[in-house]
A = this chain, B = another copy of it.
Amino acid sequence: MWGVIATWEMAAEGVHLASEKLKNGASAADALQVAIEDVENNPEFQSVGFGGLPNEAGIVEMDAAFMNGNTFAVGAVAGITDGKNPIAVARKLSSETFNSFLVGAGATAYAKNNNFKMQNMLTDDAAKKWQERVKEVAKNNLSPYDGHDTVGVVTLSGDAMTCGTSTSGLFMKKPGRVGDSPLAGSGFYVDSQVGGACATGLGEDLMKGVLSFAIVEKMRAGLTPQEACDTVVYDFSEKLAKAYGKSGAMSLIAMDHQGNWGVATNVEFTFCVATKNLAPTVYLANPGANGTTVIQAITTK
């Protein structure tokens, strides 16, 4: 069996590319990297990689992670700047015994020293949006925070699974702010004998619940990916609503080791799936009644 599931419609082309590779016997890791790099490289997607919206200081700081479900190896970067493909750096870091999670200037230095492609990640368009927002916030006393569409991907190829994430984080975040995306358990988790999960939404709230790991553990206990996502996401979203009056946005995707998949979300959410038995498809998900999720296909390519 092979399969790939990814957060947000922006991953449609990446999932298509990954599915072509998986069909031809590519490894789960190679397919994952293809899918995420496609999103990172597209300047139209303003929450990931090149073209990502900058922090409060006008700098694009990116977070990414890679996990191997056979060995549990994790590689991650947070607050990296100028690295063209943070997911590639994270994947390389997952092969390190020590120092496999690097942040800030240390992460950027590692990418440079290991000959990863470096470039200024701030596009003219993103810089303009930042300037406008700075003015708006000054004038209207708005909350500056907006946008947090992480690309998160789970792939399956035969007996092997991987997962990964990449994001430029919250628009207008404080310098050095890290969300859930590079944090094992919160932003992502995978065990090839069980399945994997990834998150997108408000990182500050997602890490309160360690939701990706929680979903994998529910699948380990025998729940389907859809049951696992529904149980974990709606239960925890309700706990946050009790504690804070409301929960931040949280959308989770999961795939098990047989290619079954599921999602749950407390906001409108798009995602993409392809498996040996399912042509690449974009879906729309919304929270339904009684802790369920309403899912409909919106495109087939």
Binding site for B on A (CB under 8 A): 70-74, 78-79, 96-107, 109-110, 145, 170, 173-179, 183-186, 189, 203-204, 207-210, 213-214, 217, 239-240, 243-244
Q: Is the CB of B102 within 8 A of A178?
A: yes
Q: Is the CB of B72 within 8 A of A174?
A: no
Q: Is the CB of B213 within 8 A of A106?
A: no
Complex: A210 Cα to B184 Cα, angstroms: 7
Complex: A102 Cα to B169 Cα, angstroms: 12
Q: Is the CB of B103 within 8 A of A78?
A: yes
A176 partner, pick from B104, B170, B177, B185, beta carbons under 8 A: B104
CB neighbours of A214 from chain B (8 A): 213, 217
Q: Is the CB of A106 within 8 A of B174?
A: yes
A72 partner, pick from B107, B177, B179, B240, beta carbons under 8 A: B240
Complex: A189 Cα to B73 Cα, angstroms: 21
Give chain A's interface secondary structure class. Answer: mixed
Q: List 10 A-B contacts (CB under 8 A).
A: A71-B244, A72-B209, A78-B78, A101-B178, A101-B203, A104-B106, A106-B174, A110-B174, A189-B210, A210-B210
Q: Is the CB of B207 within 8 A of A184?
A: yes
CB neighbours of A145 from chain B (8 A): 98
CB neighbours of A101 from chain B (8 A): 177-179, 203-204, 207
Q: What is the minimal beta-carbon distance from A211 to any residue of chain B, in angstroms?
A: 9
Q: Is the CB of B179 within 8 A of A208?
A: no
Q: What is the minimal beta-carbon distance from A281 to any residue of chain B, in angstroms?
A: 31
Q: Is the CB of A72 within 8 A of B208?
A: yes
A175 and B71 in contact (CB under 8 A), knowing A183-B183, A184-B208?
no
Q: What is the minimal beta-carbon distance from A58 to any residue of chain B, in angstroms?
A: 14
Complex: A176 Cα to B107 Cα, angstroms: 6
Q: What is the minimal beta-carbon distance from A242 to any residue of chain B, in angstroms?
A: 9
CB neighbours of A183 from chain B (8 A): 183-186
Q: Which 5 A-B pairs have the closest CB atoms?
A: A106-B176, A104-B104, A185-B210, A185-B185, A72-B208
